[in-house]
Amino acid sequence: MRKLFLFLARYSTLGLFLVLGTISFALFLSNNKYPQSVFFSSSNHLVSHLFRVSSSVTDFFSLRSENENLSIQNVELKNKIAQLENKLALVEFDNPLVFDYIYPEKEYRFIPAKIINNSTNRTRNFITLNQGERDGIRPNMGVVGAEGVVGIVKTVSNRFSVVISILNPMSRISSKIARSNQIGPLTWDGKDYRYATLTDIPRHVELRIGDSIVTSGLTTAFPAGIPIGVIESYTIGEGDAFYTIRVRLAVNFRTVSNVSVFDYINYYEQKEIESVE
């Protein structure tokens, strides 16, 4: 109590000044219409601005949960689309008894995951996901974002997995030009995170700037047709048999956060029979 009295005594002059100043200001406004209207207009504008700022802050912190919900919904839609594609593919059969048949290479699902560590400025870039073996992820699974291919799973633990990003010279994605179905490997030269290189496309193939590059479907990592990027430019030497094609990647590796992991159901069966000599 003694400290309270000492505090009030020390700042009594300042307190009295503030009280008298507030009373004077209130009297001034009450007897002058124009300053009164200006004050209330300004105060309303300030309150409105503070409300907008508060609303923006609240919306920002709610984005994380909304993005996670959208990512889960996106994966669910991908799985439904895969099922519908299987059913549509069966239209070519005349026998209704095989309506429930699913092509073995089309038996797959997508597992949602979130990127918790990522690099784009190193010679060899890797990505860490917050899902692991307990979630159904295994090595050699393909990883895709909303825009296209991200990489391939390298190693897994119980709760985490490490992905070889496209931005890694160790990465080699089997790709094709969507318009002509010409197939070649996509690699990264370690320079620009926005571009990769497609090779082994023969000289006789007609190329166009803007041609879509997609997955070939010739590996168990990805189904066919997932976007990778578009042709930015291409060159070929006078005596060369193949083009060197510069591909602008579909995924922005500096902003990607939510991904889906491609789970090919018949992976082990296919690998087992392919290993038979």
pLDDT in tens, 22-48: 666 566 556 655 555 554 455 545 545
Contacts of 34 (CB under 8 A, 6+ apart): none
Question: Residue 97: which pLDDT band, with cuts at 50, 70 and 90?
Answer: very low
Pick left, alpha or beta for residue 210 (phi over 0 → left; psi -120 to 50 → alpha; otherwise beta): left
Percent of the chain with pLDDT over 70: 63
Q: What is the dihedral of CA 256, 194, 181, 169, to 10 degrees?
A: -90
Of the chain, the percentage scoring pLDDT greater than 90 comes to: 54
CA 222 remoteness from chain centre: 17
Alpha-carbon distance 34 to 69, whole Å?
Answer: 52
On the question of pLDDT at 169 being above 90, the answer is yes
The pTM (predicted TM-score) of the whole model is 0.68
pLDDT tens string 117-148: 999 999 999 999 999 999 999 999 999 998 99
Distance separating alpha carbons of residues 237 and 251, to the nearest angstrom: 30
**Burial classification of residue 66, based on how many CB atoms lie within 10 Å of its CB (0-12 exposed, 13-18 middle, 19 or more buried):** exposed
Give me the phi and psi of 116, to 5 degrees please. -115, -5
Ordered by where they begin, the domains of the chain are: 108-277 (2.40.10.340)
pLDDT of residue 8 exceeding 60, the answer is: no
Mean pLDDT, residues 9-32: 62
